[in-house]
A = this chain, B = another copy of it.
């Protein structure tokens, strides 16, 4: 049995460990082995190490971490027709069944029996990864795996929410984005590409507002305690048709709802606190609260089309796979600008 280098969780509250792990092999007809070109280092990886996912994922240790992956197709099963060996691909974070009602409706994220590499099975901090034909998306020649890997999960979540919002936004509407950080930064670019509505970004950080304006925001509003009044002023006292909350904590949810117009949609993407709102307020304003999970396989295809156009880009900071501990440490210390990417 051949082996490969892989960074594994060997125990909670312990450091990750580089190991020689078995090379994944094709055993089923839709199996796809991907040679990793880039694996995103995500805050969720820190939470895994803290044991926060142990009960939920029921994963057996040791296992290989990493859920934001892109690379090159290395081997394929007999039934795979959508990619060929050598293709550059990004990986949808889930491996889905293809047979349940959700999968048959294009809503594969709600698959009844999905696996989640990097969370509940081997992931991408490694040389190779096993996934499925249903999870690989070919990327444009102009894109490189290490540059787009982080779009596989964080970017896909932002895309999914922004694309849903764009369906109802018109040239006369305002979309307020709370939080111009990792997800918000992608969300703003997607909104700019998909809708002509005015984009107003709210953030505590003046530098984040400047960045937001440079990538498409029409207005920046400093979250200085008067942000609700400021947004209402910008919208004739009515609030925004759509509010996209990429923060979801520290009071963002009640602020967000207060900035949403009658019959508007408040999108919850970031999370942390509770939404706590009187039913009478939702009834009298007819505001909807829209839940948002990661995007579907189709969403990832669409996002890669935007990336190929140059409409969505992401700042990355690359580390060799062997330097995984530096990447983890830098992320934990807040020293990563954009996204840390491991490159085997």
Contact = CB atoms under 8 A, between A and B. Distances in A.
Interface stretch (A63-71, A209-217, A293-301, A317-325): A293-301
Interface string A253-289: 1000000001100001111111111111011111111
B171 A302 contact: yes
A292 interface: yes
A262 B102 CA distance: 10
A172 interface: yes
A279 B274 contact: yes
A134 interface: yes
A13 interface: no
Contact of A196 (B269, B271, B287, B309): B309
A101 interface: yes
A157 to B, nearest CB: 9
Contacts of A249: 279
Contacts of A104: 106, 108, 297-298
Given A171-B306, A171-B309, A110 B291 contact: no
Q: Copy number of this protein in the oligomer?
A: 4
Interface string A87-127: 00000000001111110111111100100000000000000
A302 B268 contact: no
A99 B133 contact: yes
A199 to B, nearest CB: 12
B276 A276 contact: yes
B107 A263 contact: yes
Contacts of A2: none
B101 A98 contact: no
B292 A279 contact: no
Contact of A193 (B97, B196, B268): B196
Nearest to A77: B29
Contacts of A311: 171, 196
Contacts of A279: 248-249, 253, 268, 270-275
10 contacts: A99-B133, A101-B172, A104-B297, A104-B298, A107-B263, A170-B305, A269-B283, A271-B278, A283-B293, A288-B288
Given A193-B196, A268-B279, A275-B279, 4 more contacts: A101-B301, A104-B106, A171-B302, A287-B291
Nearest 10 pairs of A and B residues by beta carbon: A171-B305, A271-B279, A282-B291, A289-B289, A286-B293, A286-B291, A82-B99, A271-B280, A248-B279, A105-B106
